[in-house]
Amino acid sequence: MTYSTIAIWTIIIGIGIGTYLIRFSFIGTIGRALLPVWAMRLLRYTPVAVIPGLIAPMVLWPTTTGGEPDPARIAAALAAAVLGIVTRNVIAAVLGGAATLYLMLYFIG
Amino acid sequence: MTAATTKSDFWRGLRDGSPFILAVMPFGLLFGALATEAGLDFFQVMSMSVLVIAGAAQFTALAQMQDAAPVALVIAAALMVNMRMAMYSASLAPHLGAAPLWQRTIAAYILVDNTYAVAISEYERNPENSSRNKVAYYFGSAVPSWVFWYFSTFLGAYLGQSIPQEWALDFAVPIAFIAIFAPLLRTIAHVAAALTSIVMALVLAFLPYSLGLFIAAGLAMVAGAEVERRTAGRAP
């Protein structure tokens, strides 16, 4: 990691304050404004809109392999996704993904 | 309204929020360990968990930092992940809004996915309860996730220094993320948002500083909302 101490603290405090203001927004200012339906609808999708796009390049082009696609990591990601969707269980998805990754790395390298 | 009943609301919330300890612990451990390994010192790792208390946003920041994104874009990406909390805040406001400001100040601080999910389903079951009962329940439901987020981050940061390289922990972030978002794919609209996000992020990966991610996420939100609007019929 190549950040200066000041940069790291700016990140930590910036996210802290920003997140607090988001949380406080409506609970704190009750009675002034309510969010329109379309905005609630958009916000509902922020996690599934951001997270898959964030990890897709990490899965396909991992930095540890110098950006070369790696069968073990792709298989592990797929295993975690399938287990997560089928079982709806976060722990099962993590364990399944980790097991797949280690088995693939062990057998294929 | 007697003190005894508010107290029982608090304990009921605590009981309903306790199962989330199991969900919080692995991510706190992982965050503590990965952030330490990435080069943040102990005080920085703990400060992040105390100031932010939001696993997905903290992992997002970490991923962006490992990608050497500019400071402003690290913050922007993490806050974008947390924008959903504005929706939580808006939908809890009618239930908690009558509480004194100091209580709402604390309530906002501990508003996380788990608390929201537990509290809002309680308010839908018992809408006639007074604001005081609702606030007591809310704090009870939040305490387990809150306390164990600190504790597990602490443990992870402590243990993280001794995790060997061969464990391929670099890939723990994607796996953890997939585990968080896969169970969220409840409806066709969620699936549409996720697919849009993946495809557009890969197509736009050539853009510098993760700018592609922001465009992809914006389009994915619109895709999810639009599919929801159409599948829900003519509702406004």
Does B122 score more than 60 pLDDT?
yes
Average pLDDT estimate for B194-211? 89
Task: For residue range B85-101, list pLDDT tens digits in order.
Answer: 888 888 888 889 888 99
Determine which of B6-10, B73-77, B209-213 has the lowest per-residue pLDDT on average.
B209-213
Most confident of A57-61, B51-55, B206-210: B51-55
Interchain CB distance below 8 Å, A27 and B221: no
Name the residue with higher pLDDT: B143 or B233.
B143
Give me the pLDDT at residue B165, please. Answer: 64
Give me the pLDDT at residue A91, please. Answer: 81
Q: Which of A6, A37, A40, A51 to mutate to test the interface with B (most CBs of B within 10 A)?
A: A51
Q: Could you tell me the maximum CA-CA distance found in chain A, to the nearest angstrom? A: 61
In angstroms, what CA-CA distances link B101 with B53, B67, B92, B107?
21, 40, 15, 10
Task: Give the span between the Cα atoms of A12 and B118, in whole angstroms.
Answer: 28
Does B236 score more than 60 pLDDT?
no
Does B3 score more than 70 pLDDT?
no
Does B17 score more than 50 pLDDT?
yes
What three-state secondary structure class fits A31? coil
- Sequential DSSP letters for B90-143: HHHHHHHTTS-HHHHHHHHHT--HHHHHHHHHHHHH-TTS-HHHHHHHHHHHHH
The alpha carbon of residue B188 is apart from the nearest alpha carbon of chain A, in Å, by 12
Q: What is the pTM of this model?
A: 0.79
Interchain CB distance below 8 Å, B52 and A53: no
Does B181 score more than 90 pLDDT?
no
Task: Give the span between the Cα atoms of B234 and B218, in whole angstroms.
Answer: 24
The alpha carbon of residue A46 is apart from the nearest alpha carbon of chain B, in Å, by 6
Determine which of A63-77, B144-158, B222-236 has the lowest per-residue pLDDT on average.
B222-236
Give me the pLDDT at residue B235, please. Answer: 46
Does B161 score more than 80 pLDDT?
no
Interchain CB distance below 8 Å, B54 and A8: no
CB contacts of B79 in chain A (<8 Å) are 15, 18-19, 22
Average pLDDT estimate for A28-56? 78
Closest residue, chain A, to B47 (C-alpha): A12
CB contacts of A62 in chain B (<8 Å) are 170-171
Residue pair B56/B23 in contact by the 8 Å Cβ criterion: no
Determine which of A57-66, B72-81, B107-116 has the lowest per-residue pLDDT on average.
A57-66
Q: Does B79 touch chain A (CB under 8 A)?
A: yes
Task: State the average pLDDT for chain B.
Answer: 87
Closest residue, chain A, to B84 (C-alpha): A43
Give me the pLDDT at residue A86, please. Answer: 92
Does B166 score more than 70 pLDDT?
no
Residue pair B105/A43 in contact by the 8 Å Cβ criterion: no
- Confidence band of B188 (pLDDT split at 50, 70, 90): very high
Task: Give the span between the Cα atoms of B27 and A91, in whole angstroms.
Answer: 10
The alpha carbon of residue B225 is apart from the nearest alpha carbon of chain A, in Å, by 5
CB count, 10 Å around CB of A98?
Answer: 20
Residue B186, φ and ψ in degrees, nearest 5: -80, -35
Give me the pLDDT at residue B127, please. Answer: 85
What percent of chain A has pLDDT above 90?
Answer: 38
Average pLDDT estimate for B186-203? 93
Residue pair A32/B67 in contact by the 8 Å Cβ criterion: no
Q: Which of B89, B55, B88, B75 is nearest to B214 (CA)?
A: B75
- Confidence band of B71 (pLDDT split at 50, 70, 90): very high
Give me the pLDDT at residue B4, please. Answer: 58
CB contacts of A58 in chain B (<8 Å) are 63, 173-174
The alpha carbon of residue B141 is apart from the nearest alpha carbon of chain A, in Å, by 17
Pair of tokens at residue B127: 């809408």
Half-sphere exposure of B94 (CA within 13 A, CB side): 10
